A and B are shown apart, each in its own frame.
Chain A
Amino acid sequence: MTTRTTIRSQGKESGVALLLALFVLLLVAVVGIAMMAASGTEVSLTGNYRSSTASYYAALSGLEEGRARLMPKDADYLGNLSPPAIPPIGTTLPLGHLIYITNPLTSPAEIVDPTNLGNPQTYPDTEYQTDFPPAFKPPSNVRIVNSVASLTGQPNALYKWVRINAIDEWAISVDVNDTNPGDYNAFNVPQIIRFDGTNLTRSAAPYQALEITSLAALPDGSRKLLQYVVGPVTLQIPISAALTIAGPGSVGNVATFNPPPGATSFYVNGTDQCSTPKPPLPGVGVTNGNDYTSVFQNLKAPSPHQDHYIGAGGTFPNVSSPSVAPANPTVDMTDPISLSNFLPIVKNGADVVLNGPRTEADMPSAMTSSNPLTVYVNGDLSLNSFTGYGLLVVTGNLNYTGDSGWKGIVIVLGGTITETGSQDGGEFDGAVYLANLTGVTLGAPTYIVATPGGKGVYYNSCWISSSLKPISYKILSFREIPYP
């Protein structure tokens, strides 16, 4: 009996080890799974946060590519494509005409076709359909170009496409001319929106506003759709005299301008030489009383040529402390700090930036009367028998021969303009500004004229206007749009 019982007991216990092993294994598995679940959730949450931010900045990157490629000075200017993808600044991109910059992944290869509204895999532009129904009619109005790498050899940020288009009130949900205040159902469509330099407008204005929209999509599915409204901005330089000489205004530290009697052909004329003239400006402008006294005394009789300095008011010599300025000037020409801040703005927007000293040989060959340029010279500039066109900013001194000139605006901040030699016939048409900017303080400026002196400086609003080209596309508004 005893033996049988023992045998039975051993037989009953023979599976317990397996059960216990399975039980322990189960416990370990539960613990492991719990730990994996916890860490997995954490990784997932952190990843979502990161991808949301990454897609936002990727879309911003797309917007900036679109904005940069609107500027003619950009190496990848959309207008340089053949045929041009965008009309020149100052002409109108019609409503319904679109430019897409696409940026598909190359590995793995993908197709980006924002016009294919039926295929969610190609990143359709459903937002445009909302703004301008029916979208993409006719398809020939849609131009698709490739993105360009912002860093050579590096892939761009993960934006898929960037759209550039003209806008009307419906597209931006704003009653631009306030015809139906507060009524979202009474927009004026389709009427193109323009930009007057500070605000959107439905009135006539030289430039139009454009909409730039960018979609970014990350491999994990995070998407962002961002939008700018942009408009071209030009420098607003206060022109208040044909020739402005700005000194510090302190006693004993005054502007000097004393053409010799032999400067028989040298004039400074504030009467507008443009075919559709604006009101006359002073011939010679100064910015403080001490400079006025100094310059006026230099030019008046017994100087034989006091009648060479003419302008608003008709008195000789025509010297005044002018106060004409645009509503929102880019720079206060009397404030050295403002002038200092103005320089990088010009430099960033310039067609050509040169480190001085330079001569006429360094002037861009593309600069013509029909293509005035912005030239920034960081240092001194000498011009010999040369005529330039556009906006010239010289941080050093300007030397020129009497047969040289410039048509547009000349700003010299090194303190001295010197006309040299015996040549004659050159003239400055537009406006000239002279100051002596040292750091953030003004010193005494000097304008030196030789014999016979060249033809001098003539106010010309047409040349001034043509020299102030857009320097960038300004962001007028920004918003994030839900993307389905």
Chain B
Amino acid sequence: MTALTILVLICGVAFELLLVTMKKYHSDSRLLNTFQEARFGLDQIVRDINDSGYPPRNQIQSDKTPLPKTYAATPFAWGGTTYPTNPCSIGTSCTTPNDYDLIIETDIDPQNQNYVEWVRYKLIGTTLYRGVKSPKDNSPTSDPDSLTSGLLVPYVQNVMNNPSAAQLAALQAAYPSMFPSGNPVPIFDYYCESTPQPVKCNGTGSGPPPTYNDPRHVVSVVVTLIVQAPASDMQTGLPLVVQLQGQGRRVNPNY
């Protein structure tokens, strides 16, 4: 009888342990899937930013007027009818690029010899969309914003960088330091050319021109992705969230 009692106790503990572990395992699996999705997304974004502006205009003789689709007029395109001659101001007049929207102009697959593409990343709700216009429009004055908006497909889901008020409250309760001052976290943070070092593209740089909120003079983009797993932690009930950060650096010239 004593042995049986001990056995039942051991089994109870073991099953409880198993249950806890299984919950933990399932939660971690979901978190890992989320992590993996976010990681792949971040990896691709950073790679596209690194390659932005390829091939630059300097690859073609200065006395020629090449087809617009054969070169990148700017590493990062902007929306509106002033592309590619009169840039908007990041943080003020730009519809894109902004904190949650970026159009990269580059030949993402030069080995396929299919011209320069516009690659757009845009957060709508809690889904980060990606769209590729291949090749980019061959008219020199087309609007990259309107021409890519219909090509967006879901890329990373449950992106919580710019959550609703209710979501933000729940996330802040679980992760107090994730949203400083209770503000949304930009996916794209832009840094512009300046001396002696790049500065945030908010018009506060010092030194000689160029101006500091000009998409043509962005030299690096810090990418932050906050992604929530589809289900909460089975043990604590708290939302499962991963935050990844990477930095893309433009190497190609900006002319």
Task: Tell me the A residues contacting B by CB distance below 8 Å.
Answer: 17, 20, 23-24, 27-28, 30-31, 34-35, 37-38, 41-42, 45, 48-49, 52-53, 56, 130, 172-178, 181-182, 184, 196, 198-203, 229, 335, 337-338, 341, 475-482
- List residues of chain A with CB within 8 A of the CB of B111: 130, 173, 481-482
Report B186-203 CB contacts with A as 1/0, cut-off 8 Å.
000000000100000000
Residues of A within 8 A of B35 (CB): 42, 45
| A35-B21, A182-B67, A478-B251 known; A49+B58 contact, CB < 8 A | no
The residue in chain B whose Cβ has the minimal distance to the Cβ of A17 is: B3
CB distance from B224 to the nearest CB of A (A): 15
A338 CB contact (under 8 Å) in B17, B29, B208: B208
B residues near A (Cβ < 8 Å) are 3, 7, 10-11, 14-15, 17-18, 21-22, 24-25, 28-29, 32, 35-36, 39, 43, 47, 50-51, 54-62, 64-67, 69-71, 107, 110-111, 113, 115, 195, 207-208, 246, 251-253
Let me know if B62 and A31 touch, CB within 8 A: no
* CB atoms of A176 and B61 under 8 A apart: yes
- Provide the residues of chain A in CB contact with B47, threshold 8 Å: 480
A31 to B16, CA, bound (A): 11
B115: chain A residues at CB < 8 Å are: 182
Do B43 and A477 touch (CB < 8 A)? no
Interface centre among A200, A477, A481 (most CB of B within 10 A): A477
17 examples of A-B residue contacts, CB within 8 angstroms: A23-B11, A31-B17, A38-B24, A42-B35, A45-B32, A52-B43, A173-B111, A174-B71, A177-B64, A178-B60, A181-B70, A198-B62, A200-B61, A341-B208, A477-B55, A477-B253, A479-B110
Q: Which residue of B lies closest to A209 (CB)?
A: B59
C-alpha spacing A34/B17, complex, angstroms: 12
Q: For A20, give its contact among B7, B67, B207, B246 (CB under 8 Å).
A: B7
Q: Which residues of A contact B54 (CB under 8 A)?
A: 477-479
- Judge whether B62 and A196 touch: CB under 8 Å: yes
Query: How far is it, in angstroms, between the C-alpha of A53 and the C-alpha of B244 when the chains are bound?
Result: 13
A27 to B14, CA, bound (A): 7
Question: Which listed residue (A28, A341, A477) contacts B59, Cβ 8 A?
Answer: A477
**How many Å from the CB of B58 to the closest CB on chain A?**
5
- The complex places the Cα of A341 from the Cα of B60 at a distance, in Å, of 29
Q: Report the nearest A residue to B206, measured CB to CB.
A: A337
Give the interface SS of chain B, mostly helix, strand, loop or mixed.
helix
Task: State how many angstroms separate the Cβ of B170 from the closest Cβ of chain A.
Answer: 24
Q: Decide: A478 and B28 in contact? CB cutoff 8 A.
A: no
Contact of A337 among B60, B208, B246 (CB under 8 A): B208
Flag if A172 contacts B208 (CB, 8 Å). Answer: no
Pair B55/A38 contact, Cβ less than 8 Å:
no
Cβ of A229: which chain B residues have Cβ within 8 Å of it?
Answer: 59
> How far does the Cβ of A351 sit from chain B's closest Cβ, in whole Å?
24
The answer to whether B70 and A35 have CB atoms under 8 Å apart is no
Contact assessment for B207 and A42 in the assembled complex, using a CB-CB cutoff below 8 Å:
no
Contact in complex: B28, A201 (CB < 8 Å): no
What's the Cα separation between A53 and B30 when bound, in Å? Answer: 24
Q: How far is the CB of B110 from the nearest CB of chain A, in Å?
A: 5
Do B61 and A203 have beta carbons less than 8 Å apart? yes
User: Are A49's CB and B39's CB within 8 A?
Assistant: yes
Are the CB atoms of B14 and A182 closer together than 8 Å?
no
Cα–Cα distance between A482 and B112 once the two chains are bound (Å)? 11
A478, B51: Cβ atoms closer than 8 Å: yes
Is B253 a contact partner of A176 (Cβ separation < 8 A)? no
* Residues of chain A within 8 A of B11, CB atoms compared: 20, 23-24
Most chain A CB atoms below 10 A, which of B7, B28, B58, B251: B58
Chain A residue numbers with a CB within 8 Å of B246 are 53
What residues of chain B lie closer than 8 Å to A37, measured between beta carbons? 25
- Whether the Cβ atoms of A199 and B62 lie closer than 8 Å is yes
Provided the pairs A479-B51, A482-B111 are in contact, do residues A202 and B61 lie with their beta carbons within 8 angstroms?
yes
A178 touching B61 in the complex, CB below 8 Å, given contacts A49-B43, A337-B207: yes
A201 and B61 contact, CB distance less than 8 A: yes
A27 touches B18 (CB 8 A): yes
Whether A475 contacts B18 in the complex (CB less than 8 A), given A172-B55, A177-B64, A178-B60, comes out as no
Whether A173 contacts B110 by the Cβ 8 Å rule is yes
Contact A177 B55 (CB under 8 A): no
Contact A172 B59 (CB under 8 A): yes
- The answer on a CB contact under 8 Å between B51 and A34 is no
Cα distance A173–B57 when bound, in Å? 13
Of B10, B25, B62, which is within 8 A of A35 by CB?
B25
Do B58 and A476 touch (CB < 8 A)? Answer: yes
